[in-house]
Amino acid sequence: MKKPAAVVVIGLILLVIVLIALSTGVSLFLGQTPVVSSDKVALVKIEGVILDADDTIDQLRKYSKNPSIKAIVLRINSPGGAVVPSQEIYEEIMKIRAQGSQKIVVSMGAVAASGGYYIASAADKIVANPGTLTGSIGVIMELASIQQLLEKIGVKSETIKAGARKDVGDFMRTMTPDEKEYLQTVTDNIHAQFVDAVAEGRKMKKEDVWKLADGSVYTGKEAKDLHLVDELGDQEDAVRLAGRLAKIAGEPKVVTEEKKTTIWDIVKGKDVNSLFKGALPQNLQTLMYLYAVPAIR
Protein backbone atom coordinates (compact mmCIF):
# COMPACT_ATOMS: atom_id res chain seq x y z
CA MET A 1 0.00 0.00 0.00
CA LYS A 2 1.46 3.37 -1.10
CA LYS A 3 1.92 6.13 1.44
CA PRO A 4 -0.08 9.30 0.85
CA ALA A 5 1.84 12.06 -0.95
CA ALA A 6 1.56 14.37 2.05
CA VAL A 7 3.37 11.87 4.29
CA VAL A 8 6.20 11.55 1.78
CA VAL A 9 6.61 15.35 1.57
CA ILE A 10 6.67 15.69 5.37
CA GLY A 11 9.25 12.93 5.59
CA LEU A 12 11.51 14.68 3.07
CA ILE A 13 11.21 18.00 4.94
CA LEU A 14 12.15 16.31 8.24
CA LEU A 15 15.13 14.64 6.56
CA VAL A 16 16.40 17.99 5.24
CA ILE A 17 16.02 19.56 8.70
CA VAL A 18 17.96 16.73 10.30
CA LEU A 19 20.77 17.00 7.72
CA ILE A 20 21.04 20.77 8.25
CA ALA A 21 21.13 20.31 12.03
CA LEU A 22 23.84 17.64 11.76
CA SER A 23 25.91 19.83 9.40
CA THR A 24 25.65 22.82 11.74
CA GLY A 25 26.51 20.69 14.77
CA VAL A 26 29.62 19.29 13.10
CA SER A 27 30.75 22.78 12.07
CA LEU A 28 30.29 24.09 15.59
CA PHE A 29 32.12 21.09 17.03
CA LEU A 30 35.08 21.61 14.72
CA GLY A 31 35.06 25.38 15.25
CA GLN A 32 34.61 25.96 11.52
CA THR A 33 31.37 27.87 11.38
CA PRO A 34 31.49 29.67 8.03
CA VAL A 35 31.55 33.46 8.29
CA VAL A 36 30.12 35.28 5.30
CA SER A 37 31.42 38.86 5.14
CA SER A 38 28.87 41.47 4.12
CA ASP A 39 31.35 44.38 4.09
CA LYS A 40 31.25 46.41 0.88
CA VAL A 41 32.70 49.53 -0.75
CA ALA A 42 30.25 51.91 -2.43
CA LEU A 43 31.24 53.73 -5.61
CA VAL A 44 29.77 57.19 -6.23
CA LYS A 45 30.51 58.99 -9.49
CA ILE A 46 30.78 62.76 -9.98
CA GLU A 47 31.14 63.57 -13.67
CA GLY A 48 31.00 66.70 -15.81
CA VAL A 49 30.34 70.27 -14.70
CA ILE A 50 28.92 70.33 -11.16
CA LEU A 51 25.62 72.19 -11.31
CA ASP A 52 23.56 70.25 -8.78
CA ALA A 53 24.39 68.33 -5.60
CA ASP A 54 21.12 66.49 -4.91
CA ASP A 55 21.85 63.13 -6.58
CA THR A 56 25.35 62.87 -5.11
CA ILE A 57 24.19 63.79 -1.61
CA ASP A 58 21.28 61.32 -1.83
CA GLN A 59 23.72 58.52 -2.66
CA LEU A 60 26.14 59.52 0.09
CA ARG A 61 23.38 59.60 2.70
CA LYS A 62 21.97 56.27 1.55
CA TYR A 63 25.34 54.55 1.76
CA SER A 64 26.23 56.23 5.07
CA LYS A 65 23.15 54.64 6.66
CA ASN A 66 23.91 51.16 5.29
CA PRO A 67 25.84 49.12 7.90
CA SER A 68 27.24 46.79 5.22
CA ILE A 69 28.97 49.74 3.49
CA LYS A 70 32.30 50.20 5.25
CA ALA A 71 33.86 52.69 2.82
CA ILE A 72 32.89 54.99 -0.04
CA VAL A 73 34.96 55.71 -3.14
CA LEU A 74 34.15 58.96 -4.93
CA ARG A 75 35.15 58.78 -8.59
CA ILE A 76 35.60 62.39 -9.68
CA ASN A 77 35.98 63.31 -13.33
CA SER A 78 35.01 66.98 -13.33
CA PRO A 79 36.52 70.39 -14.12
CA GLY A 80 34.45 71.89 -11.30
CA GLY A 81 31.28 73.91 -11.43
CA ALA A 82 29.00 76.12 -9.37
CA VAL A 83 30.16 77.12 -5.89
CA VAL A 84 27.22 76.04 -3.74
CA PRO A 85 26.79 72.45 -5.06
CA SER A 86 30.54 71.90 -4.58
CA GLN A 87 30.29 73.19 -1.03
CA GLU A 88 27.21 71.09 -0.24
CA ILE A 89 28.88 67.85 -1.37
CA TYR A 90 32.03 68.79 0.57
CA GLU A 91 29.99 69.34 3.75
CA GLU A 92 28.18 66.01 3.34
CA ILE A 93 31.51 64.19 3.08
CA MET A 94 32.79 65.97 6.18
CA LYS A 95 29.66 64.89 8.09
CA ILE A 96 30.26 61.24 7.14
CA ARG A 97 33.90 61.55 8.19
CA ALA A 98 32.83 63.01 11.53
CA GLN A 99 30.59 59.99 12.18
CA GLY A 100 33.70 57.81 11.95
CA SER A 101 31.92 54.66 10.77
CA GLN A 102 33.01 54.85 7.12
CA LYS A 103 36.12 55.86 5.23
CA ILE A 104 35.92 58.00 2.10
CA VAL A 105 38.52 57.79 -0.65
CA VAL A 106 38.57 59.89 -3.82
CA SER A 107 39.65 58.42 -7.14
CA MET A 108 40.52 61.14 -9.66
CA GLY A 109 39.91 60.54 -13.35
CA ALA A 110 41.19 62.67 -16.25
CA VAL A 111 40.40 65.88 -14.40
CA ALA A 112 39.35 66.74 -10.84
CA ALA A 113 40.01 70.44 -10.70
CA SER A 114 38.56 73.52 -9.04
CA GLY A 115 35.15 72.47 -7.65
CA GLY A 116 36.18 68.86 -8.33
CA TYR A 117 39.20 69.35 -6.09
CA TYR A 118 37.12 71.29 -3.55
CA ILE A 119 35.01 68.14 -3.08
CA ALA A 120 38.02 65.81 -3.13
CA SER A 121 39.77 67.71 -0.35
CA ALA A 122 37.09 66.55 2.12
CA ALA A 123 37.97 62.86 1.72
CA ASP A 124 40.14 60.77 4.06
CA LYS A 125 42.50 59.98 1.18
CA ILE A 126 42.91 61.08 -2.45
CA VAL A 127 44.23 58.83 -5.22
CA ALA A 128 45.12 60.43 -8.57
CA ASN A 129 46.55 59.13 -11.81
CA PRO A 130 49.96 60.63 -12.63
CA GLY A 131 48.42 62.52 -15.55
CA THR A 132 45.26 63.66 -13.78
CA LEU A 133 44.69 67.43 -13.99
CA THR A 134 43.80 68.74 -10.56
CA GLY A 135 44.17 71.75 -8.28
CA SER A 136 42.97 75.00 -9.90
CA ILE A 137 42.15 76.43 -6.48
CA GLY A 138 40.43 79.61 -7.55
CA VAL A 139 37.12 81.26 -8.44
CA ILE A 140 35.89 82.72 -11.70
CA MET A 141 32.98 84.97 -12.63
CA GLU A 142 32.56 85.67 -16.33
CA LEU A 143 30.30 88.51 -17.45
CA ALA A 144 29.55 89.60 -21.01
CA SER A 145 28.69 93.08 -22.25
CA ILE A 146 26.88 93.74 -25.54
CA GLN A 147 26.53 97.51 -25.04
CA GLN A 148 28.64 98.42 -28.09
CA LEU A 149 26.72 95.98 -30.28
CA LEU A 150 23.41 97.49 -29.18
CA GLU A 151 24.71 100.98 -29.95
CA LYS A 152 25.69 99.91 -33.46
CA ILE A 153 22.22 98.61 -34.25
CA GLY A 154 20.50 101.50 -32.51
CA VAL A 155 19.07 99.67 -29.51
CA LYS A 156 19.12 101.27 -26.08
CA SER A 157 18.49 99.49 -22.79
CA GLU A 158 16.49 101.10 -19.99
CA THR A 159 16.58 99.69 -16.45
CA ILE A 160 14.38 100.59 -13.50
CA LYS A 161 15.85 99.46 -10.19
CA ALA A 162 15.70 99.95 -6.45
CA GLY A 163 19.20 99.67 -5.02
CA ALA A 164 22.35 101.06 -6.61
CA ARG A 165 23.91 97.62 -7.22
CA LYS A 166 20.77 95.72 -8.16
CA ASP A 167 21.79 95.43 -11.83
CA VAL A 168 25.49 94.75 -11.33
CA GLY A 169 26.62 92.44 -14.12
CA ASP A 170 23.85 93.44 -16.51
CA PHE A 171 25.16 92.36 -19.93
CA MET A 172 23.32 95.24 -21.60
CA ARG A 173 25.90 97.72 -20.35
CA THR A 174 29.55 98.00 -19.35
CA MET A 175 30.37 97.76 -15.65
CA THR A 176 31.65 100.76 -13.73
CA PRO A 177 35.01 100.60 -11.86
CA ASP A 178 33.07 100.60 -8.55
CA GLU A 179 31.02 97.60 -9.68
CA LYS A 180 34.15 95.69 -10.73
CA GLU A 181 35.70 96.36 -7.34
CA TYR A 182 32.54 95.20 -5.60
CA LEU A 183 32.39 91.91 -7.56
CA GLN A 184 36.09 91.37 -6.98
CA THR A 185 35.43 91.59 -3.24
CA VAL A 186 32.70 88.96 -3.53
CA THR A 187 34.95 86.69 -5.61
CA ASP A 188 37.85 87.10 -3.15
CA ASN A 189 35.55 86.08 -0.30
CA ILE A 190 34.51 82.88 -2.10
CA HIS A 191 38.18 82.21 -2.90
CA ALA A 192 39.06 82.45 0.79
CA GLN A 193 36.28 79.94 1.56
CA PHE A 194 37.89 77.54 -0.94
CA VAL A 195 41.28 77.88 0.77
CA ASP A 196 39.71 77.36 4.21
CA ALA A 197 37.95 74.20 2.99
CA VAL A 198 41.13 72.70 1.53
CA ALA A 199 43.11 73.55 4.66
CA GLU A 200 40.49 71.87 6.87
CA GLY A 201 39.94 68.80 4.69
CA ARG A 202 43.62 68.19 3.94
CA LYS A 203 44.83 69.26 7.40
CA MET A 204 47.18 71.79 5.83
CA LYS A 205 48.22 75.23 7.02
CA LYS A 206 46.27 78.00 5.34
CA GLU A 207 49.43 79.82 4.33
CA ASP A 208 50.61 76.66 2.54
CA VAL A 209 47.32 76.37 0.67
CA TRP A 210 47.42 80.05 -0.30
CA LYS A 211 50.75 79.44 -2.03
CA LEU A 212 48.97 76.97 -4.32
CA ALA A 213 45.71 78.91 -4.67
CA ASP A 214 46.45 81.09 -7.71
CA GLY A 215 44.28 78.95 -9.98
CA SER A 216 47.21 76.85 -11.21
CA VAL A 217 46.47 73.32 -12.40
CA TYR A 218 48.78 70.43 -11.46
CA THR A 219 49.28 66.91 -12.73
CA GLY A 220 48.56 64.11 -10.30
CA LYS A 221 52.30 63.55 -9.86
CA GLU A 222 52.89 67.23 -9.07
CA ALA A 223 49.87 67.30 -6.75
CA LYS A 224 51.28 64.39 -4.75
CA ASP A 225 54.57 66.23 -4.27
CA LEU A 226 52.57 69.29 -3.12
CA HIS A 227 50.50 67.17 -0.67
CA LEU A 228 47.27 67.89 -2.52
CA VAL A 229 46.81 64.14 -3.13
CA ASP A 230 48.01 61.12 -1.16
CA GLU A 231 48.76 58.34 -3.64
CA LEU A 232 49.12 57.69 -7.35
CA GLY A 233 46.90 55.04 -8.87
CA ASP A 234 43.65 54.27 -10.66
CA GLN A 235 40.12 53.53 -9.49
CA GLU A 236 41.01 49.93 -8.56
CA ASP A 237 43.84 51.19 -6.38
CA ALA A 238 41.44 53.60 -4.68
CA VAL A 239 38.98 50.75 -3.97
CA ARG A 240 41.74 48.61 -2.47
CA LEU A 241 42.91 51.53 -0.34
CA ALA A 242 39.35 52.10 0.89
CA GLY A 243 39.14 48.41 1.79
CA ARG A 244 42.37 48.56 3.78
CA LEU A 245 41.30 51.72 5.62
CA ALA A 246 37.99 50.08 6.49
CA LYS A 247 39.77 46.85 7.53
CA ILE A 248 37.85 44.75 4.99
CA ALA A 249 39.37 41.30 4.64
CA GLY A 250 40.20 40.22 1.09
CA GLU A 251 39.10 41.93 -2.11
CA PRO A 252 36.33 44.47 -1.38
CA LYS A 253 32.98 43.98 -3.08
CA VAL A 254 31.99 47.16 -4.91
CA VAL A 255 28.39 48.37 -5.18
CA THR A 256 27.30 51.29 -7.31
CA GLU A 257 24.14 52.99 -8.46
CA GLU A 258 23.85 53.47 -12.20
CA LYS A 259 22.07 56.71 -12.99
CA LYS A 260 19.83 56.63 -16.05
CA THR A 261 18.76 59.94 -17.55
CA THR A 262 15.07 60.08 -18.39
CA ILE A 263 13.16 62.52 -20.58
CA TRP A 264 11.44 63.79 -17.44
CA ASP A 265 14.82 64.59 -15.85
CA ILE A 266 15.71 66.68 -18.89
CA VAL A 267 12.33 68.45 -18.93
CA LYS A 268 12.76 69.35 -15.25
CA GLY A 269 16.29 70.55 -15.99
CA LYS A 270 17.62 68.16 -13.36
CA ASP A 271 19.97 66.20 -15.59
CA VAL A 272 20.84 68.50 -18.46
CA ASN A 273 24.48 68.25 -17.43
CA SER A 274 24.73 64.52 -18.12
CA LEU A 275 22.92 64.95 -21.41
CA PHE A 276 25.60 67.31 -22.71
CA LYS A 277 28.50 65.48 -20.99
CA GLY A 278 29.35 68.55 -18.92
CA ALA A 279 29.92 70.83 -21.92
CA LEU A 280 27.60 73.56 -20.70
CA PRO A 281 28.10 77.34 -20.84
CA GLN A 282 28.33 79.12 -17.53
CA ASN A 283 25.42 81.19 -16.31
CA LEU A 284 26.46 84.79 -16.75
CA GLN A 285 26.14 85.74 -13.10
CA THR A 286 27.15 82.47 -11.43
CA LEU A 287 30.33 82.17 -9.41
CA MET A 288 32.19 79.07 -10.49
CA TYR A 289 34.88 76.81 -9.12
CA LEU A 290 35.78 75.84 -12.68
CA TYR A 291 38.84 74.86 -14.70
CA ALA A 292 38.63 74.92 -18.50
CA VAL A 293 40.22 71.67 -19.70
CA PRO A 294 42.54 72.17 -22.71
CA ALA A 295 42.13 69.82 -25.63
CA ILE A 296 45.08 67.53 -26.32
CA ARG A 297 45.40 67.15 -30.09
Pick the range with the lowest mean pLDDT from 4-13, 143-152, 279-288.
279-288
Q: What is the mean predicted confidence (pLDDT) over 176-187?
A: 90
How many other C-beta atoms lie within 10 A of the C-beta of residue 42? 25
Q: Residue 2 pLDDT > 60, yes or no?
A: no
**pLDDT tens sequence across 9-64:** 566 566 656 555 555 454 444 444 434 346 899 999 999 999 999 999 999 999 99
The predicted pLDDT at position 262 comes to 58
Residue-level pLDDT at 259? 64
CA 178 to chain centre: 37
Entry pTM? 0.77
Write out pLDDT tens, residues 88-140: 999 999 999 999 889 999 999 999 999 999 999 999 999 999 999 999 999 98
Buried b / exposed e over 250-274, threshold 16 CB at 10 Å, is eebebeeeeeeeeeebeeeebbbbb
The b/e string for 151-185 (b: 16+ C-beta within 10 A; e otherwise) is eeeeeeeeeeeeeeeeebbbebbebeeebeebbee
Q: Supply the pLDDT for residue 13.
A: 64
Q: Is the pLDDT of residue 293 over 90?
A: no
Per the model's pLDDT, the better-predicted residue between 266 and 153 turns out to be 153
Which range, of 131-135, 146-150, 191-195, 268-272, averages the lowest pLDDT? 268-272
Does residue 166 carry a catalytic annotation?
A: yes
Is 145 labeled as catalytic in the residue annotation?
no
64, 107, 114, 136: the active-site residue: 114
| Distance (Å, whole) CA 111 – CA 57 | 21
At residue 73, φ and ψ (nearest 5 deg) are -105, 125
Question: With 50 as the cut, is the pLDDT of residue 275 above it?
Answer: no
pLDDT digits (tens, 9 = 90+) for 211-269: 999 999 999 999 999 999 999 999 999 999 999 999 998 888 899 887 665 555 544 44
Which entry of 166, 205, 211, 268 is annotated as an active-site residue? Answer: 166
pLDDT for res 33? 40
- HSE at residue 238, side-chain half, CA atoms within 13 A, is 30
Q: Does domain 40-141+191-290 have CATH number 3.40.120.10?
A: no
Backbone torsions φ then ψ of 3, nearest 5 degrees: -75, 150
pLDDT at 277 over 50: no
Contact 223, 204 (CB under 8 A): no
Average pLDDT over residues 155-174: 82
